[in-house]
């Protein structure tokens, strides 16, 4: 089963023995829960489009491990063309779902662990790379969705993992056995964790020798004994329990995050990819961060396309599509969105082969890409809200619009363009609300700030990668200093 389809993916989730809590209660049926199901639909789109001949070139690739056709989300990048297609694929899926489709972190983890395990084995004579190659063959053969899990709760940010008062605030090895390891801790903000077949765990920061037990990377099935999740709630999430569609804004698709707890989980030796080699924890983090910051030049741009389209429709439905300042705001939104896309494509086109054989993006440009993502979606959001108007956040509920007595009143007083049904105006305003303030804000606005590292993390990398000494030498040469 190299390529699952949409329905096969959904049915595969039903077979997972996972433990999920929401609002203090155990969720009996996560797949059909009205709050969770939209996020599953978003992941399902990655499977659906892989079978569409129109998108096959973007959505699939030929595995370097087996020679078989695989979903691009399970692929190890083999060229700059692969890196570029990745960004284009992410923009496409953002356009199709207007939400987070949740497989990007796993894909970025695959490529980071692939090259890092190769380097560790070369230095230490370990067998992590062999372990990972066999694991990747399973991922590709089964077309698994894998949650790449990097972010730890962290506790006191001024202290290293081993210095924390509570030793479990970073995932750690609590027991090393002949046949494997036992791990404890948690990963926070885990995108798509409930909708994933597997979890691929990575360290979250660079570490010193004293943090040996925390320098660990491994893969486990989502339903492993000792793993449970606490669902992260989002603004307006309970609207999905009301049974309507208009007030939700994006009724079919969504994203999800959770706290994933590891309560003494056993990991066999063949699924361990890092175990105490602290000098490679930072290497793995840096490589993953680069790939994931590249990703934001695709997915956020696709969602931005939908938001720009919604804002343009709102201007039409409000009766002001030809007003000069409205057009200028839409132009600015498009300019900012395409600038983000340019960065995603640029860091991909400037990629290069690693010693392991896969392709790494240009780290400087990837960090510039994500630095822009921490800013531009906020401005795009502001302009969309400006164009939409205050009714976006003061409009009566769907039930009022459908009420036999109140409905005609809402229809009368919330009419905009005479040629547009009032209910259509309500739908587009709710979509803008969803993308900028509601559940999708996690996958667009707020995640643009904190996903793949907050702004300062990129600024640190830009300082490291910016080659300032070279730039100073250029200036000296032009100014004839020292000559």
DSSP string, 149-182: E-----SSTTS-GGGSSSGGGS-EEEEEETTEEE
What is the three-state SS of 20-75?
A: EEECCEECCCHHHCCCCHHHHHHHHHHHHHHHCCCCHHHHEEECCCCCCEEEHHHC
Contacts 24+ apart (CB under 8 A), 403-408: none
Query: 92 with 55: CB under 8 angstroms?
Result: yes
DSSP string, 340-396: HHHHHHHHHHT-EE-TTSSEE--HHHHHHHHHHHTTHHHHHHHHHHHHH-THHHHPP
DSSP state of 228: E
Query: 144 with 198: CB under 8 angstroms?
Result: yes
Of 118, 135, 291, 296, which residue is the catalytic one?
Answer: 296
Of 74, 100, 343, 347, which residue is the catalytic one?
Answer: 100
SS3 state at 420: coil
SS3 state at 398: helix
Of 48, 74, 77, 104, which residue is the catalytic one?
Answer: 104
The residues pairing with 175 across neighbouring beta strands, listed in sequence order, are 182
100 is catalytic: yes
Query: 109 with 245: CB under 8 angstroms?
Result: no
104 is catalytic: yes
Of 189, 278, 291, 299, which residue is the catalytic one?
Answer: 299
Beta strands in 399-479 (DSSP E): none
74 is catalytic: no
403 is catalytic: no
Of 48, 292, 376, 398, which residue is the catalytic one?
Answer: 292
Kindly state the helix (H) or strand (E) to which residue 335 belongs, with its residue range.
Answer: helix 324-349
257 is catalytic: yes
369 is catalytic: no
Farthest-apart Cα atoms in the chain, separation: 87
Torsion angle defined by CA atoms of residues 92, 342, 360 and 254, in that order, rounded to the nearest 10 degrees: -30
Token pair for 266 = 């056993």
Of 117, 191, 374, 381, which residue is the catalytic one?
Answer: 191
CA distance to 105, 241, 462, per residue, from 74 (Å)? 11, 33, 29
What residues are annotated to the active site? 100, 104, 191, 257, 292, 296, 299, 447
């Amino acid at each position: 089963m190299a390529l699952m389809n949409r329905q096969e993916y959904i049915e595969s989730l039903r077979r997972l023995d996972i433990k999920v809590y929401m609002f203090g209660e155990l969720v009996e049926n996560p797949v059909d829960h009205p709050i969770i199901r939209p996020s599953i639909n978003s992941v399902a789109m990655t499977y659906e489009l892989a079978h569409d001949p129109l998108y096959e070139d973007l959505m699939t690739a030929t595995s370097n491990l087996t020679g078989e056709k695989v979903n691009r989300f399970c692929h190890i990048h083999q060229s700059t063309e692969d890196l570029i297609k990745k960004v284009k694929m992410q923009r496409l899926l953002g356009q199709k779902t207007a939400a987070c489709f949740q497989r990007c972190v796993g894909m970025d983890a695959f490529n980071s662990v692939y090259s890092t395990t190769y380097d560790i084995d070369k230095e230490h004579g370990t067998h992590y790379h062999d372990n990972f190659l066999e694991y990747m063959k399973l991922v590709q053969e089964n077309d698994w969705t894998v949650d790449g899990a990097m972010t730890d709760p962290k506790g006191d940010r001024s202290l290293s993992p081993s210095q924390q008062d509570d030793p479990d605030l970073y995932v750690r090895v609590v027991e090393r056995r002949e046949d494997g390891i036992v791990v404890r801790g948690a990963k926070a903000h885990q995108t798509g964790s409930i909708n994933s077949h597997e979890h691929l765990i990575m360290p979250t920061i660079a570490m010193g020798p004293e943090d040996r037990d925390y320098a660990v990377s491994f893969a486990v099935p989502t339903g492993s004994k000792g793993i449970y999740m606490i669902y992260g709630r989002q603004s307006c999430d309970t609207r999905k329990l009301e049974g309507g569609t208009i007030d939700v804004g994006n009724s079919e698709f969504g994203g999800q995050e959770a706290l994933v707890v590891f309560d003494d989980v056993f990991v066999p030796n063949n699924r361990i990819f890092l175990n105490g080699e602290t000098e490679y924890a930072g290497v793995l983090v840096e490589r993953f961060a680069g790939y994931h910051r590249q990703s934001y030049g695709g997915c956020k741009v696709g969602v931005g396309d939908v938001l720009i389209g919604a804002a343009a429709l709102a201007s039409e439905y409000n009766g002001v599509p030809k007003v000069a300042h409205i057009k200028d705001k839409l132009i600015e939104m498009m300019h900012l969105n395409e600038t983000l896309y340019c960065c995603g494509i640029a860091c991909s086109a400037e990629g290069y082969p690693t010693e392991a054989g896969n392709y790494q993006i240009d780290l400087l440009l990837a960090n510039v890409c994500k630095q822009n993502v921490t800013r531009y979606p906020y401005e795009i959001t502001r302009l969309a809200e400006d164009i939409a108007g205050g009714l976006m956040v003061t409009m009566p509920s769907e039930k009022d619009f459908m009420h036999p007595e109140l409905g005609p009143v809402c229809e009368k007083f919330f009419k905009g363009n005479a040629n547009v049904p009032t209910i259509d105006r309500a739908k587009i305003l709710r979509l803008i609300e969803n993308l900028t303030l509601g559940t999708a804000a996690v996958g667009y606005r707020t995640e643009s700030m904190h996903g793949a590292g907050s702004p300062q993390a990129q600024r640190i990398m830009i300082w490291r990668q910016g080659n300032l000494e070279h730039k100073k030498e250029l200036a000296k040469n032009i100014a004839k200093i020292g000559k």
